Amino acid sequence: MDRYQRVEKPRNETPIRENEIRITALGRMRNYIGYGMSLLEENGHDEITIKAMGRAINKTVMVAELIKRRVAGLHQNTSIESVGITDTWEPLEEGLVPARDNSSCINDYPNIVQGTIGYIISRVPATHTS
């Protein structure tokens, strides 16, 4: 692929809600836990959403579990979805054909940014409907 360059696509950035935490691989876990605790206790939110992608997914699971352990009476709502991603590569030399790379991401949370994983932690238990 050294004779191709990836075509940058505009991202569909969704605004970050007031009760949402987006975890990155470089951020400190204690900062995310402290922010989540302050959203639940000081700001009075009954529910927070924790989102991440890529290498930050492990950290997201740990943050969600630690917040649930520190705040009594919390419940976790989780579901799974998959998203397809297509990368387009354009040739740097004449005579080459543009290339496409198809892959898929598995998400552990519905209705979130493409290619991410997340959890909803709530004071209200989930109601299961069949």
Helix (H, G, I), strand (E, B) or coil at 46: coil
β-strands 20-22, 81-91 pairing: unpaired
| Per-residue model confidence (pLDDT) at position 118 | 62
pLDDT for 111: 36
pLDDT at 81: 52
Q: Are 117 and 52 in contact (CB under 8 A)?
A: yes
In the sheet where 20-22 sits, what is the strand order? 20-22, 47-52, 117-122, 75-77
Q: Domain residue spans in the chain? A: 19-122
The string of pLDDT tens digits covering residues 1-22 is 678 888 887 777 778 889 889 8
Name the stretches of the chain with pLDDT < 50.
Answer: 106-116, 130
Structural domain 19-122, CATH architecture: 2-Layer Sandwich (3.30)
pLDDT of residue 112: 34
